[in-house]
Amino acid sequence: MGERMLAVYVTCANEKEASKIASAAVGKKLAACANYWKGKSVFKWKGKTRRASEWLLLLKTTEKNYSPLEALVKSLHSYALPAIIALKPVGASKEFSCWVEKEVGASE
């Protein structure tokens, strides 16, 4: 186990977009797995407070894959400024971390 695992949080406009990004990331081995679910957001955009229904996407990957994963998300995303946030887990089971590394090709 050499690569540090990341959880990458992304907000999406709708379920179709979340599913498309999730499938592409896993298919290209940039993420080991993805979860997505419906959520609500409140945010400032162009000086106004906005409210929106969004889909929240969580991609499990490694630090090595973050840059290409970020580029993929941006290429498939409909927002002018998508939220793409890499989170370093404080802890994760060794077995799960090893599985993530294996799935994205980090452990050779």
What pLDDT, on a 0 to 100 scale, did the predictor assign at position 2? 54
* Domain 5-103 bears CATH identifier 2.40.10.10: no
Where do the structural domains in the chain lie, given as residue ranges? 5-103
pLDDT in tens, the chain (108 residues): 457 899 999 999 999 999 999 999 999 999 999 999 999 999 999 999 999 999 999 999 999 999 999 999 999 999 999 999 999 999 999 999 999 999 998 644
pTM over 0.85: yes
* pLDDT value, residue 7: 97
34, 29, 13: which is closest to 76 by C-alpha? 13
CA atoms within 13 A on the CB side of 14: 2
